[in-house]
A and B are shown apart, each in its own frame.
Chain A
Amino acid sequence: MRQALLRWLPQILLLALLALLLGWLGHNVLENMRERGIRAGFGFLLEPAGFEIGESLFDYDASLPLWRAFLTGVMNTLRVALPASVIATLLGTLIGLGRLARHPVPRRLCGMLVETLRNIPLLLQLLMCYFALTSLLPDAADAISPLPGSFLSKSGLFLPAWHCTPQCGWDMPQVAGFGIEGGWSLTPEYLAVLIALSLYSAVFIAEIVRGGILSVSSGQIAAGNALGLTRLQVLWHITLPLALRAIVPALTNQYLNLTKNSSLAVAIGYPELVSVANTALNQSGRAFECIVVVMAVYLSLSLITAALMNLYNARVALRGAA
């Protein structure tokens, strides 16, 4: 009994101290803000947002409460981060394998790609990608049609969309008004963020994949060869499963980075979370609260990603290993 108390007492004291410290800091923040005539609190999230958002997955308009604007921002972040993660993983694996190719041409090419992309700041790549898209593509009024029913212009990529309101059918984009209307559209902002994020993350993933594969002991591969498996079979049945153990933990970091890096999209006008928060911050003046919301959202997204990846890692990890 006494021993248990001795073991727990310091921990409880530490926790209490921490709680006190946080409480004191929080109290001072509110007190000082009140003193300076800055209003505090999260009630403003229920007031009408008052601003439009360029693109949203669900219906959104300016009369909805501010938290809906934030939600739209979060959905836009996910809308770019999830596909970018998938593309980056596939592309990264290919580039990583390419760097290990026996042939010097793919090996050198992939090496050059990796060294170029990972050594240029992402923000610059993003801006370059965006201004390339908006300068190279034709004006909305003279959009090109790469495939029947689809249009590509400075206003983005328009594709036919399947929808069921009020009747099921294809909604074909059409030349109208200032350019193209209807259909399913991907703005140049979205495309630029998707491309830049995917490429940037892909080269980091390529290095992780390469490292993972190199970590597989040559004895395992020799054993595969001895069994008469082809190179592809060795890769698929032996090298990759073994390499995954080294790859997955590092991959988690890349997914976390990718999600957080998507906040740079604010520079080119893609309405993700930070962009929406910036506008909300300025309309309401609640800098402190808006930053807290953004931090909480990124933290939650990161924790969820990490938890999922840990689950997956537990499945691919060596059974019985520590």
Chain B
Amino acid sequence: MTRPRLRTLGLLCALAVSALSTPLAHAGKTLDTIKQRGNIQCGVSSGVAGFSLPDSQGRWSGFDVDLCRAIAASVLGDPNKVNFVPLNSQQRFSAIQSGEVDILARNTTWTLTRDASLGLSFTGITYFDGQGFLVPKKLKLTSAKQLKNAEICVQSGTTNEKNLADYFRSQNIKIKPVVFEGFEASFKAFFSGRCQAYTTDISGLAGVRNKEAKNPDDYVILPEVISKEPLGPAVRRGDDDWFAIVRWVAFALIEAEEGGITQANIDSIKADSKDPAIQRLLGTGEDSGKLLGLDRDWAYRAIKSVGNYGEVFARNVGPNSVLKLPRGLNNLWNKGGILYAPPIR
């Protein structure tokens, strides 16, 4: 508890100091700084199963983590040249504004306010999520509309609080939010029985139920999805080159899945494929990296290090993980989802 607090303080100080110093003429090129420093500073959550979570050896894994690793592989040639900076939901925007992190991959919802007024830009959507409710099975609830006068545990500093208020106001139902600063405290209070329902993004609900509940079968997720939560990485405003790199590495992973390229078969496909689109992607055809300020193998290294989008999904939040989330909206556009990467050419 003290560490994040100290970090908040440090961040605010950093922000204050950098804001106090004489105005800078130019922000400086992020890519140059990263190459000089030799690693990418990646802002992640302080522990959300499936998205970013350190194991007992301190090794990070998760959906957001893999994206940072892919970018590091692309830019620096090594997926391990990433320094993960755990941030709580209040710190995250200050961290990207002050330059403490180069990229914010912290299951952050893309909204107008954030995009237009916080000095950052979302590079795209990597995960389509929505907010839902987890309730104990014994309450025999079948709809969120039955939550009249219920106490609902929620974490502060998220879009969830506002969605919660919006949804129940539109339904003309009064509820009592119990707002916790930490993710941990919020679900602990719910499982101890303090609240009748727990709300967060559905990916989070699945993680909490499958990882934290004593008996996951005692809890159900209600059918209502009350918001759109498009999650994606964000970068500091004003460096379009860096913005483009982050955006296109994510597209390359999606493109790889569409082209059937996996971590396992990428080398043989690279050697044999005659498809010009695949050749461009893997650097055997036209040099697509040059335009991004990278070399021709940028996408090859990204895919080789973490796999294509489908593999990243399966490993962290899909069937091969504790979350066991269905692909749903996060499937390719030609497989019933809405993932669609612009062509790499």
A residues with a Cβ closer than 8 A to B are 25, 28-29, 31-33, 35-39, 50-55, 61-63, 123, 127, 131, 134-135, 139-140, 154-155, 177-179, 181, 187-189, 266-269, 271, 275, 278-279, 281-285, 287-288, 291
Contact = CB atoms under 8 A, between A and B. Distances in A.
14 contacts: A29-B16, A31-B23, A37-B118, A51-B165, A52-B165, A53-B177, A53-B179, A127-B185, A140-B193, A154-B192, A282-B156, A283-B113, A285-B117, A288-B15
A36 B193 contact: no
B213 interface: no
List the 3 shortest-distance A-B pairs measured between CB atoms, nearest first.
A282-B157, A36-B119, A62-B165
A131 to B, nearest CB: 7
A281 B114 CA distance: 11
A38 B178 contact: no
Contacts of A179: 196
B7 interface: no
B238 A36 contact: yes
Given A269-B179, A278-B90, 18 more contacts: A29-B19, A32-B24, A36-B97, A36-B237, A37-B117, A37-B118, A38-B119, A51-B161, A63-B169, A134-B192, A134-B194, A177-B149, A266-B181, A282-B89, A283-B161, A285-B113, A285-B117, A287-B90
B151 A281 contact: no
Given A39-B117, A63-B169, A52 B23 contact: no
Contacts of B305: none
A28 B20 contact: yes
B164 interface: yes
B188 A131 contact: yes
B30 interface: no
B18 interface: yes
B309 interface: no
Contacts of A36: 27, 97, 119, 236-238
Interface string B160-195: 011011101100000111111110011011001110
B12 interface: yes
B156 A275 contact: yes
Chain B residues touching A, majority SS: mixed
Interface in B129-173: 139, 148-151, 153, 156-158, 161-162, 164-166, 168-169
Interface of B: 1-2, 12, 15-16, 18-24, 27, 89-90, 93-94, 97, 113-114, 117-119, 139, 148-151, 153, 156-158, 161-162, 164-166, 168-169, 175-182, 185-186, 188-189, 192-194, 196, 236-238
Given A52-B165, A266-B181, A268-B185, A38 B194 contact: no
B178 A189 contact: yes
Contacts of A123: 1-2
Contacts of A177: 148-150
A284 B113 contact: yes
B237 A281 contact: no
Most buried by B among A36, A61, A127, A279: A36
Contacts of B169: 61-63
Contact of B19 (A32, A178, A181, A285): A32
A287 B237 CA distance: 17
Nearest to A264: B1
Given A38-B118, A178-B196, A33 B177 contact: no
Given A28-B22, A266-B156, A291-B12, A275 B237 contact: no
Contact of A33 (B19, B22, B151, B157): B19
Given A63-B169, A188-B194, A35 B178 contact: no
Contacts of A29: 16, 19-20
Contacts of A139: 193
A278 B157 contact: yes
A62 B174 CA distance: 11
B15 A287 contact: yes
A315 to B, nearest CB: 39
B156 A50 contact: no
Contact of A35 (B15, B24, B89, B157): B24
B165 A279 contact: no
A32 B21 CA distance: 8
A154 B194 CA distance: 5
Given A35-B24, A50-B166, A134-B194, A281 B179 contact: no
Nearest to A38: B119
Nearest to B197: A178
A285 B118 contact: yes
B62 to A, nearest CB: 22
Nearest to B118: A285
B155 to A, nearest CB: 9
A282 B158 contact: yes
Contacts of A140: 193, 196
Contacts of B177: 51-54
A287 B19 CA distance: 13
Contacts of B189: 134, 268-269
Contacts of A25: 20
A37 B117 CA distance: 7
Contact of B23 (A35, A278, A287): A35
Contacts of B161: 51-52, 279, 282-283
A275 B179 contact: yes
Contact of B179 (A31, A39, A54, A287): A54
Contacts of B149: 177-178, 181
A235 to B, nearest CB: 41
B285 to A, nearest CB: 38
A267 B182 contact: yes
Nearest to A290: B90
Contacts of A181: 149
Contact of A155 (B113, B151, B180, B237): B151
A29 B153 CA distance: 37
Contacts of B237: 36-37
A59 to B, nearest CB: 12
A287 B93 contact: yes
